[in-house]
Structure 1
Amino acid sequence: MKSSQKLTKEQLAPYFLEWLRITTELANLHEQRSKQTKVTIQEGLELYQRLLSHCRDALQDDGFEPLNGSERLTFIKTSSGTYAAYRQLDELFTELKKILARKRIELKRLND
């Protein structure tokens, strides 16, 4: 399967739909100041890492990630119960979505 086929909206949509569910839950948990936030942010982290792994495999690029992605992930892991960690994870998903849209356009142009 070509990398452009692994980066289609259909291939990536389940990850982003699941993140939408998790982010809604996290927003509510933070509003309630719940202790459950750490568990839910861990769920989001695992989802992000699966998505990133999928993209790296598709692009055959082990270094593919948003700007300062590794440092940001470390921050999220070490302060997983904080609102700042939640916002940082949300930004990583947003940035990754934009980068992938650009990559799809680049791959489409190369294949045409």
Structure 2
Amino acid sequence: MTLSRKSIDQAVSPFYEDWSALSQKIESCFVQEASGCSTLIAEGWQLYEALKTALYGLFGNSAPCPLNESERLEFIRNSRSAHAASSQLTQLFAELKKKIARIKIGYPAE
């Protein structure tokens, strides 16, 4: 498969759509101060890992990676503060999205 901007978008868009819905659930969980926010954050972490796997499938070793990603993911996994973990996860998704956009510039539109 030859990569294009469109094919990259098609590969990563479902992850970001799922993240959008999940992040809203996480925010709602914090507003309600309900238990189970950690479970939602774990789902977000798994979604992020699935996105990274898809990116490695597309780009191999040149897949984009946010700064200090492994340390930040470790913090998310081990955090006792669900809100701090949620913030880190949100930042990782946002930073990765920017890096993907930069990489896409080097590929043809179709």
* TM-score (normalizing by structure 1): 0.86
Identity %: 32
Instruction: Indicate the RMSD between aligned Cα atoms, in angstroms.
Output: 2.2
Alignment check: 8 A CA contact 2:15 2:51 kept: yes
Gap runs ≥5 in structure 2: none
**Does residue 79 of structure 2 align to residue 76 of structure 1?**
no
How many residue pairs match? The answer is: 110
Query: Which ranges of structure 1 fall in alignment gaps of 5 or more residues?
Result: none
Equivalent residues in 2 for 1:47-86, closer than 5 Å: 47-61=47-61, 64-79=64-79, 81-86=81-86
What aligned pairs does 1:90-105 form with structure 2 within 5 A after superposition? 90-105=90-105
In the superposition, the TM-score normalised over structure 2's length comes to 0.88
**Cα distance in 2 for residues equivalent to 1:5 and 1:34:** 40
Of the two structures, which has the highest relative contact order with CA contacts closer than 8 Å and spacing of 6 or more? 2
Alpha carbons 2:64, 2:100 under 8 Å: kept: no
